[in-house]
């Protein structure tokens, strides 16, 4: 009986083995140097051009509608030593989908970067954030509706961000992101996952420093900003989707979607404002961001997000359903 079962399983076993080998080889090829990733980007752009040739020019998709009505400014926190190894790959992937992109650094360069006259170092991250938002307020307040801060190792799906923001009024004092609980009564948004300020939230943040209500009291950027937001009456929103799944993620996809064996919760789940969830149900189908993304994986995520499709599959999840 055992011999018959083994004989029956052999074709499935070898097919699975072959598929696993091919998949492993494929991702090995993708996971090479950042320079090879640029070639991959060229391939992606070629595909985009082909897709454009097969698209009706005046077709009005939901993504186009929100893009026209929700203007997003993205500023990327970076530094001179990361321009080649990280930031140019942000520029080559998701950042181009923002309406305005600014690269904030300690020095002005032809990259281009905006020089903030702030020294590099972890102890200066909050100074960088303060100066960056002051620069945005002074130069671009009327050019966008929402203002995004992201790190140079964050990946964002801007279309999903626009959809999330479509539920809010930028003239109300709100900000969105991965909501953590400790240290700030109302919670605060994790810096690495990226966070978004409404126009009114940005006004209040700037007024907080001009009035003296907010100060640089801590080197911990995201927590200190959250404290200022609370002081100025800016509401941290529940950025999860209608199924209670997170949109902003503090780590790469595998850290969130792969259910780990029983162990003490990692720090980012201990800090959760909402009940901690692990595994596939922790991530929204319309996720916005992932953190600690290496340059190669930026291009892989771009490919998986915008090009890979299962033939014949009809996406059934309706994010606008209320029941």
Class of the CATH domain delimited by 63-305 = alpha beta
Query: What is the reported pLDDT for 61?
Result: 58
Calculate Rg over the CA atoms of the chain: 22
| Residue 47, C-beta contacts closer than 8 angstroms, at least 6 positions apart | 307
Rounded to 5 degrees, what angle do the CA atoms 201, 166, 237 make?
45
Q: Per-residue pLDDT for 76 more than 70?
A: yes
Query: For residue range 254-308, what is the model confidence (pLDDT) as tens digits?
Result: 999 988 777 788 888 999 999 999 898 999 999 999 999 999 999 999 999 999 9
Q: Per-residue pLDDT for 65 more than 80?
A: no
Domain boundaries, the chain: 63-305
User: What SS3 class is residue 136?
Assistant: helix
Check: CB of residue 66 under 8 Å from CB of residue 159. Answer: yes
Query: What is the reported pLDDT for 232?
Result: 97
Q: Per-residue pLDDT for 171 more than 50?
A: yes
Question: Cα torsion at 137, 141, 146, 147 (round to 10°)?
Answer: -30
Q: What is the pTM of this model?
A: 0.79
């Amino acid at each position: 009986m055992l011999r018959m079962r083994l004989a029956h399983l052999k074709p499935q076993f070898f097919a699975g083995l072959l598929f696993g080998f091919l998949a492993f080889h494929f991702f090995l090829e993708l996971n090479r140097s950042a320079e090879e990733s640029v070639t991959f980007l060229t391939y992606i752009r070629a595909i985009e051009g082909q897709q454009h040739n097969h698209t009706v020019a005046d077709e009005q998709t939901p993504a186009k509608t929100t893009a026209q009505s929700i203007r997003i400014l993205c500023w990327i926190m970076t530094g001179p030593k990361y321009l080649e190894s990280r930031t140019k790959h942000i520029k080559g992937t998701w950042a181009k989908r923002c309406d305005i992109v600014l690269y904030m650094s300690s020095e002005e360069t032809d990259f281009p970067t905006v020089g903030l006259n702030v020294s590099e170092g972890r102890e200066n991250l909050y100074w960088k954030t303060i100066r960056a938002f002051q620069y945005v307020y002074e130069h671009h307040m009327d050019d966008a509706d929402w203002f995004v801060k992201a790190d140079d190792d964050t990946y964002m799906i801007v279309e999903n961000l626009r959809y999330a923001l479509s539920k809010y009024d930028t003239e109300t004092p709100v900000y969105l992101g991965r909501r953590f609980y400790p240290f700030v009564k109302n919670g605060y948004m994790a810096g690495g996952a990226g966070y978004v300020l409404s126009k009114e939230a940005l006004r209040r943040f700037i007024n907080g420093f001009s009035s003296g209500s907010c100060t640089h009291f801590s080197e911990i950027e995201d927590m200190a900003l959250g404290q200022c937001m609370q002081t100025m009456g800016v509401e941290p929103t529940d950025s999860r989707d209608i199924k209670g799944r997170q949109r902003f993620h503090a780590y790469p996809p595998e850290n969130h979607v792969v259910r780990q064996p029983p162990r003490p919760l990692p720090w980012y789940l201990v800090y959760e404002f909402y009940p901690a969830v692990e595994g596939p149900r922790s991530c929204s189908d319309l996720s916005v961001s992932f953190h600690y993304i290496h340059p190669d994986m930026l291009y892989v995520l771009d490919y998986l997000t915008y090009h890979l499709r299962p033939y014949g599959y009809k996406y059934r999840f309706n994010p606008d359903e209320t029941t």
